[in-house]
Amino acid sequence: MDAVVLCFHKVGSQKKEGRRLNIDPRRLDAHIRFFARRKFQFLRAGDFQQWPDRRSVCFTFDDAYASTLEYGRPVFERNEVPMTLYAVTRLVGMTSSWDGELARPLADWADLKAAQAAGHEIGNHSGNHVHLPRLPYVEQKAEIDLAHEDLASHGIASKSICYPYGHQDEQSRLAASQAGYKVGMALGKRLASPDDPRLAIPRIVIAFGDSLPMLLYKMHLRPKLK
């Protein structure tokens, strides 16, 4: 059975966070409630080590922006469902320097540990948010291992990895596997299938303007328009 795996980044009002890589908390709440009404089970990314046997959805957030925890975490906890956040470990508590002039604050270790204690998953998003396939295998492995060790040193047991920019190749997947990961999140414009490699699960990117009709379009109609 296919699963819905969604990719988000920041959470906040347009005034606070703009539109780029952002979703308004009210829209996020509407998306969560849509799946809850339809009796989907809400999974953390690490749960995909065993493929679900019923309709499932997973909400993932790249980069662990501070806004995601400030405005997004309360939405999930109000609805009593988990989310998965991916931290760039060498920049935790700093800013998303890879965004250039659009850099925004990233959550600190205390916030990440508190989110894990509340039942959310914190995963590996590399040490420095690099394009992994542009690097030789040894450097890809070093980036993944570095982040894994950083998380562990702060008491965070990461069960999945998310490749920065969604970019990955065979060597990226090998490096992730060597670090002990069985689940890896990439990007795609379709639902995730049990036939997908567990270390390259496709996720649907959700944008600021994606209302419920657009969400449904991305889930069911766009994959058929080839």
Give residue-wise pLDDT tens across range 61-119: 999 999 999 999 999 999 999 999 999 999 999 999 999 999 999 999 999 999 999 99
- Specify the CATH number for the domain of residue 60: 3.20.20.370
Where b means 16+ CB within 10 Å and e means fewer, 75-90 reads bbeeeebbbbbbbbbe
Quick one: pLDDT band at residue 224, thresholds 50, 70, 90? confident
Q: What pLDDT shows up at residue 225?
A: 83
Per residue in 74-87, pLDDT tens? 999 999 999 999 99
Per residue in 22-56, pLDDT tens? 999 999 999 999 999 999 999 999 999 999 999 99
Question: Closest Cα partner for 63 from 143, 135, 8?
Answer: 8
Structural domain harbouring 121: 4-224
- How much of the chain exceeds pLDDT 70, in percent? 100
Q: What pLDDT shows up at residue 226?
A: 63
CA distance 89 to 82: 21
Q: What pLDDT shows up at residue 112?
A: 98
Total structural domains within the chain: 1
CA distance 31 to 146: 34
Report CA Rg, the chain. Answer: 16
pTM to 2 decimal places:
0.97
